[in-house]
Amino acid sequence: MSIVLERFEAKAGWPVLREGWASRFSPGDLELLDTAVDFAVRWHADQVRPAGEPYVEHLLEVVRVLVETLGIVDVDVLRAAVLHDVVEDTACSPEAVRIGFGDRVAELVEWVTKPEPAEGQSPAEAREAYLSRLQSAPTDALVVKLADRLSNVQRLDSHPRPDKRGSYYRETARTIVPLAQGHPWFRQWYASWLETFAHLADGAPHR
C-alpha cells in the first residue's frame, strides 16, 4: 500500500491561521503571536525559499505542525517557532530577540540556530557540531527543530538542486530521524517520509 505523506501549507497567510485558531488561544496570546509574526516578516522581508515561495510560509508551516498535530499552545514555543531562523538567516541579533520576546524565547531560538564556524572550523564541521548538539536539546527546542525540518523536507522533490535533494535526505535520515523517536507523531511522520523519498537515499533521480 502506498504511503500518503501528510503535508502542511501556509499559503493563506497568518490572518487565516489566526482566525482558525481563535478558539485555541486567548486574545492576549494571539496578540503576542501577532508581534512575533510581524517581527519575522520585517526581518525576513523579501527572502524566499529554494523553490521560490515566500519565506514566511515556511515559518507558519512550522507553527501549524506544532499547533495542529502536537496541540501546542505554549506561546513562547510558538513564538520561537516563528522566529527560529531570524538570527541564522537575517542580520537580527540574538539580543534583539531577547529584548523583544524574553529569555525563554531567545534561548529556544538559540538552540535551533546554526552558529557561524569557529576559528579553524569548516562550515561542514560547524553544521555537524550543531546537529550533534541537538541530541541534548530540551524538548521544547527539539519539537521546534523537528517541525522546522519537516517543513523543509516535506516536498523535497521540489528542491531546485537535485544534488541537494539526496544529501538533505541522507542528512535528515542520519541526524534528524533519530531525534524524532521519542515523539510518537514525529516518529510516524518521519517513517512515512523516509519511505516516500527513499528514491533519494542513493542520490538517484526519481523515476
Cβ contact 176:144 at 8 Å: no
How many structural domains are present in the chain? 1
**Set 6, 89, 107, 128: catalytic member:** 89
The number of helices, as runs of H, and strands, as runs of E, in the chain is: 11, 0
Q: Is residue 130 part of a domain?
A: yes
Q: State yes or no: pLDDT of 203 exceeds 80.
A: no
Q: What is the pLDDT of residues 27-68, one digit of tens each?
A: 999 999 999 999 999 999 999 998 889 999 999 999 999 999
Tell me what pLDDT residue 187 has: 97
Determine, yes or no, domain membership for 95.
yes
Task: Specify whether 6 is catalytic.
Answer: no
Which of 88, 110, 128, 171 is flagged as catalytic?
A: 88
Closest listed residue to residue 82, CA positions, set 69, 101, 96: 101
Residue 65, in any domain of the structure:
yes
Is residue 5 a part of any domain in this protein?
no
Structural domain boundaries enclosing 96? 14-200
Tens-place pLDDT, residues 97-156: 999 999 999 999 999 999 999 898 999 999 999 999 999 999 999 999 999 999 999 999
Residue 3 lies in a domain: no
Whether 88 sits among the annotated catalytic residues: the reply is yes
Asked whether residue 1 is assigned to any structural domain, the reply reads no
- 207 assigned to some structural domain: no
With respect to residue 4, please indicate whether it lies within any of the assigned structural domains: no
CATH number where 19 lies: 1.10.3210.10
